[in-house]
Amino acid sequence: MAEAKRDFLSCKRIVVKIGSSSLTHPTGELNLTQIETLVNQLAGLINEQGKEVLLVTSGAIGAGLGRLNLPARPKDIPGLQAAAAVGQGILMHVYEQFFAAHGVTVGQV
């Protein structure tokens, strides 16, 4: 454990993967409180510890479900693609707003 902590403290770049279940309510809608908490923690790593943080995030489909008024996750590929396409912009906007409060600029690859 001490070795892992030492490695974490000495690293410059951190890759964080967040799954949909960590970002959404059981209904599939984005959990803004949970996302804000996550962003606050990541911004602390960036601003206070000087880490470069790469966030790999799921949740685009969940974000798109509400906007498309879909009662459940689509089972077909076109439906999933449509929900993800709509939700990706929504999810990025949410991240941008929360990170901006900490002076952190976001981008998408």
Could you give the percent of the chain with pLDDT greater than 70?
100
- Written as six digits, the tokens of 4 are 């892992």
pTM: 0.86
77 near 36, Cβ under 8 Å? Answer: no
50 near 13, Cβ under 8 Å? Answer: no
User: In the beta sheet, which residues pair with residue 54?
Assistant: 15
The pLDDT of residue 14 is 94
The pLDDT of residue 79 is 95
- Cα 53 from chain centre: 12
The pLDDT of residue 8 is 79
Regions of the chain where pLDDT drops below 50? none
